[in-house]
């Protein structure tokens, strides 16, 4: 099963292909629209439209674990606005799709540059804490890397 990105619109997450959870087209509704806030741009006026993925750490065996192609990688795949290509450091993986440049007064968008020109495969590599890590910090948690691979 494949995850479909969503856009939060009026507090409700909607698939970008305007379909419901069962895959049926939502009738009577326009496609969801991402509302931009030019005032949340970086200091130099950059706004990134990014894919945000939250991958839960499984707690399984130690080492590297990858998602198999075509599997649902997350229940939380969303298109969001960020002020950097990396996104905030909040446990989510961010992949920039487009770069927008806001006007100097933050009132409008002056330029749009598409970054992604291909399909993306996503994998999450998990790293469990080693014995040495646990000696330094007994409460150490598993960490991982979000990998976005052009296909």
Q: How many structural domains compose the chain?
A: 1
Q: Give the pLDDT of residue 57.
A: 54
Report yes or no on 90 lying in a domain.
yes
Is residue 146 one of the residues assigned to a domain? Answer: no
pTM of the model: 0.73
Nearest to 36 by CA among 5, 74, 72, 80: 80
Q: Which domain holds residue 11?
A: 6-57+67-118
pLDDT in tens, 116-142: 877 888 888 888 888 888 899 888 877
Assess if residue 138 is contained within a domain.
no
Structure token digits, residue 38: 């030019």
Report yes or no on 36 lying in a domain. Answer: yes
pLDDT digits (tens, 9 = 90+) for 101-122: 988 888 888 999 998 877 888 8
């Amino acid at each position: 099963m494949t995850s479909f990105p969503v856009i939060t619109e009026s507090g409700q997450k909607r698939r970008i292909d305007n379909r419901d959870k069962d895959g049926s087209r939502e009738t009577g509704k326009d496609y969801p629209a991402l509302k931009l806030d030019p005032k949340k741009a970086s200091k130099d006026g950059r706004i990134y439209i990014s894919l945000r993925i939250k991958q839960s750490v499984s707690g399984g065996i130690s080492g590297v674990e990858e998602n198999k192609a075509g599997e649902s990688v997350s229940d939380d795949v969303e298109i969001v606005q960020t002020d950097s290509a990396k996104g905030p450091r909040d446990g989510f993986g961010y992949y920039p799709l487009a770069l927008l440049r806001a006007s100097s007064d933050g009132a409008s968008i002056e330029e749009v540059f598409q970054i992604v020109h291909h399909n993306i495969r996503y994998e999450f590599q998990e790293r469990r804490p080693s014995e040495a890590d646990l000696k330094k910090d007994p409460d150490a948690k598993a960490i991982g890397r979000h990998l976005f691979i052009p296909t």
